[in-house]
A and B are shown apart, each in its own frame.
Chain A
């Protein structure tokens, strides 16, 4: 466990690799309000990236723009060098998985059935009619997703019978079942107590080690400090980006949150402590 949490410094090549998810000067309007105003950032496979910033900074909006769920009003998002719009809906849904802020898991459903839904509509006719049959490869992907999130043992339970942490892991399994290249999560640790929150980060770490690109919107800066790469948003713009050491400085955080903080190093992790 400690090994995973204290992941050794990741390799971060300076040049943007060909398979990255890249935002280039992205603008997004939320109604008449410019929620994202010229954000550029690159997210790589095998890297745990976190998007942080105060409320209303445009974090969730940026995440949805990266998924192609929010129309971009300026700039562009590219996946593996191709603009997102050039990918078909089916192809895009295979590459980019999304875990929404509060995923609507239908209460009475079996965990396994919910996870199986994560295989998605990738090759459905019109996105509405699933092709038959359900292949062994699909079955294997669902099994793997259940195994990797330790949800296999309650795969036959109903969602309503799960604890908050189990629920979030089931949601994670659902997202992983698609075998995506990137997983974009909107505040995955919201409403979870510390132990469960760390649990989620631990599972994500495992996936990152396996080559998955993770982009998570996080509120808790001390949790974000465990990521490899941080993007600090403020007022729809990038305040800072880079390693936790580069981003989590009292100066950047003051600029973003309007709050004086102390950043201390404990073991090899950073801790952000607000000043009274």
Chain B
């Protein structure tokens, strides 16, 4: 094989290193900083005692039982939403698709709200979220469908309609369930508040299963980018691919949304940034989106904890809105 010509953009290897470092930095900062000031030495000591299962002393509880699981949860949720966003954009060949815009997130939120208001056990929240997420995405797709195709504009409009209807239902529930109203309200804005290790362990299988399946489908998704007919001519069963990818993405989204609420824009923005830097191949797009999405959400939650912005969903929306506008302008100029 002849020597490869110099590649444009960042090398994937270097990019992986950089993004992994970014995620690590976010985790370190997120664990080291908070509304309570704890010196770095103490943080390290706490982590050591946590990992080695020694007795926790002083601020150890804050670091090991509150901050670290919250940071890990943030990374998990950010990674899930970003991978799902990237996969949705690939499945529907639509740069605007993401869990939020397709109504999947709103669907999950409704299911989770039902579970919270009805006072079901915490472990059932993601199950309920998953069921409604699947119903939501089925509604969106059947509304958007035109023959075998899902035209981008129709898809987004259908997603917005389904999302609005479901959000209205969620709001109605919130207004009825007065006692828990504020909790659910905070939840719909996206909040990592009381994420403990138990929640992390509950969400982990959803994230791992959903994102893992999507990573396995990366090459099939690449092939789909050539066009539906071309992909079919190459032997990719497009309908089956769509179905499995949508279920996998709904699984990961439901897990993420169940305990943390609706966090907008992460799933939209992160894959775009990765695509700009490393190209559209899903075998790099999906894993690198996971790294960047994790880092972004941990950082956003740190801002939420230490500034009056107060909720991670508010931070991501504040960051994401302008980026989205920039993206729209850029697409127009290109």
- Does a CB–CB distance below 8 Å link A and B in the complex? yes
Q: Could you list which residues of chain A lie within 8 angstroms of chain B, going by C-beta atoms?
A: 64, 67, 69, 89-90, 92-94, 96-100, 102-110, 113-114, 117-118, 120-122, 124, 126-130, 139, 143, 155-158, 174, 178
B232 to chain A, nearest CB (A): 6
- Name the one of B7, B226, B244, B280 contacting A128, with C-beta atoms under 8 angstroms: B244
Contact B280 A106 (CB under 8 A): yes
Nearest first, the 9 A-B pairs at minimum CB distance are A93-B235, A98-B233, A121-B235, A120-B234, A104-B227, A156-B5, A106-B280, A106-B225, A108-B279
Contact B7 A69 (CB under 8 A): no
Q: How far is the CA of A130 from the CA of B281 in the complex (A)?
A: 15
Contact B281 A128 (CB under 8 A): no
Contact A127 B236 (CB under 8 A): yes
Contact B230 A100 (CB under 8 A): yes
Q: How far is the CA of A112 from the CA of B186 in the complex (A)?
A: 48
Q: A64-B229, A104-B230, A109-B280 are in contact. List 17 more A-B contacts (CB 8 A).
A: A89-B237, A90-B235, A94-B235, A98-B230, A100-B226, A100-B230, A104-B225, A104-B226, A106-B222, A106-B280, A109-B279, A110-B279, A121-B223, A122-B235, A124-B220, A128-B216, A128-B220
A133 to chain B, nearest CB (A): 13
Residues of B within 8 A of A118 (CB): 234
Within 8 A of A (CB), among B1-17: 1, 4-8
Contact B217 A128 (CB under 8 A): yes
Known A103-B230, A108-B279, A127-B220; contact A156-B4, beta-carbon cutoff 8 A: yes
- Once A and B bind, how many residue pairs between them come within 8 Å at the CB atom? 107
Q: How far is the CA of A94 from the CA of B227 in the complex (A)?
A: 18
Contact B240 A93 (CB under 8 A): no
Contact A97 B233 (CB under 8 A): yes
Contact A156 B230 (CB under 8 A): no
Contact B235 A100 (CB under 8 A): no
Known A106-B280, A109-B281, A156-B4; contact A124-B227, beta-carbon cutoff 8 A: no
Residue B44 at the chain A interface, CB threshold 8 Å: no
- Name the one of B6, B235, B237, B281 contacting A113, with C-beta atoms under 8 angstroms: B281
Contact A130 B235 (CB under 8 A): no
**Least CB separation from B90: chain A residue:** A106
Residue B182 at the chain A interface, CB threshold 8 Å: no
Q: How far is the CA of A155 from the CA of B6 in the complex (A)?
A: 11
**Least CB separation from B276: chain A residue:** A108
B45 to chain A, nearest CB (A): 44
Residues of A within 8 A of B275 (CB): 108
Residues of A within 8 A of B236 (CB): 120-121, 124, 127-128
Contact A105 B235 (CB under 8 A): no
A98 to chain B, nearest CB (A): 4
Q: How far is the CA of A118 from the CA of B4 in the complex (A)?
A: 20
Contact A104 B93 (CB under 8 A): yes
Contact B240 A117 (CB under 8 A): no
Residues of B within 8 A of A174 (CB): 226
Contact A155 B233 (CB under 8 A): no
11 contacts between A and B (CB under 8 A): A93-B235, A104-B93, A104-B226, A104-B230, A106-B225, A106-B280, A108-B280, A109-B279, A117-B225, A120-B236, A178-B234
Residues of A within 8 A of B7 (CB): 110, 156
**Least CB separation from A161: chain B residue:** B8
Contact B1 A139 (CB under 8 A): yes
- Name the one of A93, A117, A122 contacting B226, with C-beta atoms under 8 angstroms: A117
Residues of A within 8 A of B6 (CB): 156
**Least CB separation from B236: chain A residue:** A121
Contact A113 B279 (CB under 8 A): yes
Contact A107 B244 (CB under 8 A): no
Within 8 A of A (CB), among B185-229: 216-217, 219-220, 222-223, 225-227, 229
Residues of A within 8 A of B61 (CB): none
Q: How far is the CA of A98 from the CA of B235 in the complex (A)?
A: 11
Residues of B within 8 A of A93 (CB): 233-235
- Name the one of A97, A99, A126, A139 contacting B240, with C-beta atoms under 8 angstroms: A126
**Least CB separation from B282: chain A residue:** A106
Contact A117 B237 (CB under 8 A): no
Residues of B within 8 A of A99 (CB): 230
Q: How far is the CA of A93 from the CA of B220 in the complex (A)?
A: 14
Contact A105 B240 (CB under 8 A): no
Residues of A within 8 A of B217 (CB): 128-129
Residues of A within 8 A of B232 (CB): 69
Q: How far is the CA of A103 from the CA of B93 in the complex (A)?
A: 13
Residue B56 at the chain A interface, CB threshold 8 Å: no
Residues of B within 8 A of A108 (CB): 275-276, 279-280
Q: How far is the CA of A260 from the CA of B232 in the complex (A)?
A: 40
A240 to chain B, nearest CB (A): 28
A171 to chain B, nearest CB (A): 9
Contact A107 B229 (CB under 8 A): no
Most buried by A among B6, B230, B279: B230
Q: How far is the CA of A241 from the CA of B220 in the complex (A)?
A: 38
A159 to chain B, nearest CB (A): 9
Residue B28 at the chain A interface, CB threshold 8 Å: no
Known A104-B93, A106-B225, A124-B235; contact A158-B230, beta-carbon cutoff 8 A: no
